[in-house]
Structure 1
């Protein structure tokens, strides 16, 4: 077990220029470890309102108060210049999102965190191959978390990377204390799942399978956001920091998020991780084509215009739901939608509202995240359906 962890960690360490890496069963689990280590309960954490609701509940589970940041409407990144001084004051940490792999302005956020004396924590779940300021995303913060469920399609695993290697023993002990024991049934299901999914796709039974899951009451998301369940959430809050009271929210879409991996799962993850560079090149090529289309946004955050290998490319379209339906008719699934923004979703009972919510709301409503590996198919469908591009009318708070 230790040797399998070590191989994965060494490969990730090399990708990050020697930064210490700790294997974790999921990005959300690694983020919980980071928040618990660097932030005292009751603190305020600046984060993006266009983010997975699971991450919102991880912040709450860590005993922290989410603070929603203004965003750049062009790409959904944190608009540092639009954050008022009154919001910066009293923060305990800043949490980036690097939405779809598009980098948040980490150099600016690093400088601001240094002035405030607070940690920067980078959520790089979508951004394992992205760069900003000439460095890999995930090398600016005290801690960063990565997912192997995204570009590698391993459906499990991730890393907690830290700037200070001396913290590894303490963080590894905290990880091991929170992990659930390996379950043979869960390991078998994980190993069999790709073959079952491939069979359903081949037989064109994906829709029927999803309908059966809904009828059995096993689907946790009927809409983009999971049900908030405000009364239950109020009851859970006093128990934070702790994962157990928030388990029903944090586990959504990944019930094995804190499961100790078995040898079969680790072997498959290692094989997929070894092919990452080829996958990133495919994503990069598709990103170039999509960004250059009428639905793209100018630039992609890379120095000198170099394309990022985005996990999903957020095209900006009018009538986003109609575009999703058009793609679905051609068996192109659109996932990773984050609408409405978290402040609208949760309300001020559970988060501090963004001081400038309009850009985030506009981006969430118009962003169509598509798989760059299917760039040509996507563009053909959108153009054939007469989908119109959208452009924001509001201006970011500062030039970058």
Structure 2
């Protein structure tokens, strides 16, 4: 990762722990941080745990990236930091954000969990901010681990001490569960028992999410806020979907992570190939510039529930949905609402994030099911529409005129 980014990197057990360490280092408690409202709720709770007030940003409706032009000057003036999301691997406008943060004298932090292979303005995502966090649970499929990359090498030692102070000792049971999980999941999928497994978890009271968003539990959250900054106070929210996020990694975990990370370039090539295929379908919004190896390709569909059901019938899962936006989910008790929320709400409702490694099957299923594409709202006045190469326009015209297109 140091070679890829040209920056000093620190291993962390999870991206969320790395983000907490970065927030505590660069942001004073009580500050306000601009972030995306279409984001994992775990990240929202990590920001709260660091003692910060989330400020939800306007987004572009076509790809869910931050819309810097739609952020009012009054909002910029009250910020202590900016946190990018790079949702599904689509790059937020890092050069613009870097310039704006420099003018305001505030840090830029990059969440690159979905964007380990994305390049913007000739530089990798994660090389613009004071710090950036990466996840090895995503493109590599390791299901654990991450990196905290920093612009100032002198900060690494302090960050390492802060990380170590938050770690919990390795547990043999956790290591065994990690080693057996891929085989158990493969068995459940092979026997088509996914629904039964989820029903069993609900019956036992072990299911942490009954909907896209986890339960907010506002009264408990308010009590936790009174103790922030404190990761311990927010542990029940921060650990959802990954209870090992603070554990010292054992030998088994590290060996598997290293093996999968060694194949990252091969995996990125496959993601790029699948992304290119999906961007040529009628459900993809036009994108300027070359394709990127997206972690998920956010197709835009009129009826996401119907599209999800059609894919499920062919055992193609849809995950990483972030609906409703965080300002709707949490309310003004816990966050500042976006000054222009309509585009984020539209994107959250219509985005169908699909795995580019399943590109051919996804395109075939959606085509046969007659899934209709959704068209993003028109750009706000003064904003240039996305540029689309002429050959891409020709391909789209063919798709729309083809049977079932």
Partner in structure 1 of residue 393 of structure 2: none
Partner in structure 2 of residue 73 of structure 1: 61
Partner in structure 2 of residue 122 of structure 1: 110
Partner in structure 1 of residue 44 of structure 2: 56
User: TM-score w.r.t. structure 1 length?
Assistant: 0.95
Question: In structure 2, which of residues 69, 90, 101 is the aligned counterpart of residue 102 of structure 1?
Answer: 90
Q: SS where residue 373 of structure 2 aligns? A: coil
- The 5-angstrom pairing of residues 1-400 of structure 1 reads 12-16=1-5, 18-299=6-287, 305-396=289-380, 398-399=383-384
Q: SS where residue 121 of structure 1 aligns? A: strand
Contact 1:144 1:161 in 2 (8 A): yes
- In the aligned structure 2, how far is the partner of 1:118 from the partner of 1:220? 36
- In the aligned structure 1, how far is the partner of 2:200 from the partner of 2:262? 35
Deviation string, structure 1 residues 28-65 (Cα, Å, up to 9, x no partner): 00000000000000000000000000000000000000
- In the aligned structure 2, how far is the partner of 1:325 from the partner of 1:205? 17
- In the aligned structure 1, how far is the partner of 2:58 from the partner of 2:193? 42
Q: SS where residue 219 of structure 1 aligns? A: coil
Contact 1:359 1:394 in 2 (8 A): no
Shift of 1:220: 0.6
Q: Give the stretch that moved more between structures: 225-234 or 389-398.
A: 389-398
Deviation string, structure 1 residues 69-99 (Cα, Å, up to 9, x no partner): 0000000000000000000012110000000
- In the aligned structure 2, how far is the partner of 1:98 from the partner of 1:396? 21
Partner in structure 2 of residue 7 of structure 1: none
Contact 2:343 2:377 in 1 (8 A): no
CA-atom RMSD, angstroms? 1.0
- In the aligned structure 2, how far is the partner of 1:186 from the partner of 1:324? 32
Q: Which runs of 5+ in 2 are unaligned?
A: 387-405
Q: SS where residue 30 of structure 2 aligns? A: coil
- In the aligned structure 2, how far is the partner of 1:274 from the partner of 1:393? 41
- In the aligned structure 2, how far is the partner of 1:396 from the partner of 1:378? 32
- In the aligned structure 2, how far is the partner of 1:203 from the partner of 1:48? 38
Shift of 1:394: 3.4
Query: After TM superposition, what 4+ stretches of structure 1 lie above 4 angstroms from structure 2?
Result: none
- In the aligned structure 2, how far is the partner of 1:373 from the partner of 1:267? 24
- In the aligned structure 2, how far is the partner of 1:108 from the partner of 1:321? 35
Shift of 1:396: 4.3
Q: SS where residue 249 of structure 2 aligns? A: coil
- In the aligned structure 2, how far is the partner of 1:82 from the partner of 1:65? 20
Deviation string, structure 1 residues 226-271 (Cα, Å, up to 9, x no partner): 0111111111101000011111111000000111101111011000
Deviation string, structure 1 residues 349-389 (Cα, Å, up to 9, x no partner): 10000000000000000000000011111111111111100
User: TM-score w.r.t. structure 2 length?
Assistant: 0.94
Q: SS where residue 239 of structure 1 aligns? A: coil
User: Cα–Cα, structure 1 residues 98 and 264, in superposed 2: closer, same or farther, change >3 Å?
Assistant: same
Q: SS where residue 246 of structure 1 aligns? A: helix
- In the aligned structure 2, how far is the partner of 1:40 from the partner of 1:75? 31
Q: Give the stretch that moved more between structures: 185-194 or 196-205.
A: 196-205
Q: Give the stretch that moved more between structures: 213-222 or 359-368.
A: 213-222
- In the aligned structure 1, how far is the partner of 2:74 from the partner of 2:308? 39
Contact 2:13 2:247 in 1 (8 A): yes
